[in-house]
Structure 1
């Protein structure tokens, strides 16, 4: 269910395909198209910390249900907003971002409570595979739905799908295994005996004293290693998601369907490699390799790999070659899910929601700068290549920072840890 929600989360971000015909019909320049696309991120900037705090206190079931319901409503109302005014369109995209900001903190919080440490990487890999397949679904079916049902067909279909998901989620899930009616006593004891945490009982905190002061969280260099890693991950993710269709159309003159196809293949590869990385990561830990070393290896592959691949992309002469480089970049990028993303659950599992929220806020700021900056950069320089090289350099720098300061061990943030 979490994987399906994250698939919907990304499928609803179909503005990267719709922006091409919208820009043509409204006469938008590339810089302004970047502003329109980044409006989603303005809302996404607001909610992660608040959402992470709420999920740590009330549990993932309630917070995720409200999040999916609100972002599905925003998606469904986008066609009306686009016809009404530019301000209404920006407002709906902001609401979408606000609601979707709770998704990943909920994912991390619930996996920390439902899965033993030796199984968390696979769980994150499966959940994030849904996230990446959502990009593939949105980019594949949006042009088809637009050709059959008008420009805003995908928004209606994806919005209604979200409401259907909420009905199943509310009736069939629970925030913690202790409240689940679908698992056996044997399975519950297995989860509990593997070092599982138990902080949510009927919507209240049982063992935790509450969210620690932010200054305590931010006083640790390992917290900053996660923040910087999330920022770089989001920079690369949103730049690729938002600009790849435009890139293939502008540089290689392929039509919208082909642009979607070139963008779909990398995200599908990312889903596969992300799950493979999760299996490999758990296997390394089970074989006795330290958690810290495992996270550093995964993060290094996840950042050094895309850095080199993006440099290769800038030398590609035809559409098929940059698509291969992009597939390699995005596929290797998925290894970082078993680096910084799982690490959130390990250093302070009872605060995984709020820690994810803090790092997501930094990631959203980086994504806004990257998404908007790419448009202005292309207008100023007249080429995407320089921006890809800049992104590669940032990947390399962050990989080094992570390897110096990160750890896979639980950290004491206050007296309750």
Structure 2
């Protein structure tokens, strides 16, 4: 029997949505933890007299850990159970965050802690998706995933609003402590989640014995429509990582923003969250109006890549904090249209393997997070403190992604 039929709907609903709620809170903490350092690094750099190169490597270390663990997280959850793996992931990232102030005097120690934070958080999201696939009924998964993504955006907003007003070390203690508190509540449902996963696993083992062998790994890298998605995702994340890692520093160092103005860097995340929901409704409306799926995916992706690319050129010329935040908020609003573009295209080109293609795409799209830290520092230093080359490069990467996706994408199944 499949797990979702073990209990009656009336008995099942509270359990399922308790788990969904806790997973959403875990993703909120996950997202909040990753934006603390880009804000806190400003006072930390002032205190320890770091240069931009040290600044960049500390920020990029997170992305190295994050990229290295995403596929590992999905595989581990399948092998050992999502409940156990998620527990380990939250414990790892919470400890890494909580003890960060103790090692802030050492650049190498901070790089290591940022790496372990990335490893834990990289495991988190694919593990949560695995748990949802095991215990959440099919007709409730869209809502569950919608809440999951929304809570991630809310976590970024929350951290951006709170952290500028705290002593920098307190931010790490606060959200690291939230992780420990989450673990206490998670233990209440831990055994039930494990039991539900075991029932599902037994079912799928029986199904696998009746099915034929699946695809080889190289097939996920041998189709142009898949590479169109991968490149578009990479391009989108290049500008997104620039915003997430460097916006507070740019506003403070280049435009002279104070603590109260840094707080308004929450606006791009808020606009992105709202626009993601709107983009989905707009895309569905066009498809219902008999637009082809491919035309809708290409339109949404072009809006989400070309729009932010052009706005980044404009952003580089802004001379006030309010203008800069307004432009970046509009850029992130348009970037949200990618959610109804190439990010949704996985289901059409690989309907039976969308989870794997998304993991590959997300892994490749984390490379900009690694490159943006040291590369941004180098560009700013070699250009005499000017940031224009940084935003020019990001805008050009976006435009290349739009051209590749617009010419090579497909809505036909390739896997």
Deviates more, 1:137-146 or 1:100-109: 100-109
Residues 82, 311 of structure 1: alpha-carbon distance in 2 compared, 3 angstrom cutoff? same
Greater RCO (Cα-Cα under 8 Å, separation 6 or more): 1
In the other structure, the counterpart of 2:179 is 162
Alignment map for 1:101-250 (pairs within 5 Å)? 101-106=122-127, 120=142, 126-146=147-167, 151-169=168-186, 171=188, 179=196, 200-201=201-202, 206-207=207-208, 212-250=215-253
CA RMSD, 1 decimal: 3.2
How far apart are residue 199 of structure 1 and its match? 8.1
Residues 341, 7 of structure 1: alpha-carbon distance in 2 compared, 3 angstrom cutoff? farther
Distance 1:346 1:103 in 2: 26
Distance 1:387 1:314 in 2: 9
Q: TM-score, normalised by structure 2?
A: 0.82
Residues 356, 105 of structure 1: alpha-carbon distance in 2 compared, 3 angstrom cutoff? farther
How far apart are residue 253 of structure 1 and its match? 0.8
Match of 2:260 among 253, 257, 262: 257
Are the equivalent residues in 1 in contact too, given 2:224–2:408 (CA < 8 A)? yes
Residues 171, 371 of structure 1: alpha-carbon distance in 2 compared, 3 angstrom cutoff? same
- The Cα offsets for residues 80-111 of structure 1, whole Å up to 9 and x where unpaired, read as 2325x333222211111011112343455567
Distance 1:258 1:160 in 2: 27
Deviates more, 1:130-139 or 1:338-347: 338-347
Q: TM-score, normalised by structure 1?
A: 0.82
In the other structure, the counterpart of 2:274 is 272
How far apart are residue 294 of structure 1 and its match? 2.8
How far apart are residue 6 of structure 1 and its match? 2.6
Alignment map for 1:14-163 (pairs within 5 Å)? 14-55=36-77, 60-83=82-105, 85-106=106-127, 120=142, 126-146=147-167, 151-163=168-180
Distance 1:205 1:270 in 2: 42
Residues 332, 128 of structure 1: alpha-carbon distance in 2 compared, 3 angstrom cutoff? farther
Distance 2:82 2:289 in 1: 32
Are the equivalent residues in 1 in contact too, given 2:241–2:368 (CA < 8 A)? no
How far apart are residue 346 of structure 1 and its match? 4.3
Distance 1:256 1:306 in 2: 26
SS at match of 1:269: helix
Residues 70, 377 of structure 1: alpha-carbon distance in 2 compared, 3 angstrom cutoff? same
Distance 2:186 2:326 in 1: 37
5+ residue gaps, structure 1: 181-197, 413-417
- Report the number of matched residues: 387
Residues 89, 50 of structure 1: alpha-carbon distance in 2 compared, 3 angstrom cutoff? same
Residues 408, 46 of structure 1: alpha-carbon distance in 2 compared, 3 angstrom cutoff? same
Alignment map for 1:303-342 (pairs within 5 Å)? 303-342=305-344
